[in-house]
Amino acid sequence: MDVRLQAYASFTFRADALFESVDALLRSPILRAAVEVSRSAVFRRRFVGVYDALSAGKINPRAVRQAVVGAEPDDALAVAG
């Protein structure tokens, strides 16, 4: 399964707003405030959606961890640890 789909599936409440918030954070060079997340091209909601996602959203941390670890290529280099 695609890592993006796995990450999305790990957001158990307010998934769309959480996913778009994370997507905006990863794609934007520098964001200094939550309102700047809402101005990203990938965030399709109103700016209050960022605050709603952060305050009410639920994430399954184990599922996110599995998605990220599962996406690592077999030939990836260990940087530390």
Domain ranges of the chain: 3-71
Give the pLDDT confidence score for residue 9 in this predicted structure.
94
Q: What is the pTM of this model?
A: 0.73
Q: What is the pLDDT of residues 28-80, one digit of tens each?
A: 878 788 778 877 878 777 777 777 888 899 999 999 999 888 887 878 777 77
Decide: 7 and 56 in contact? Cβ < 8 Å.
Answer: no
pLDDT at 60: 96
At 1, is the pLDDT very low, low, confident or very high (cuts 50, 70, 90)?
Answer: low
Question: How far is the CA of 11 from the CAs of 29, 37, 67, in angstroms?
Answer: 24, 18, 12
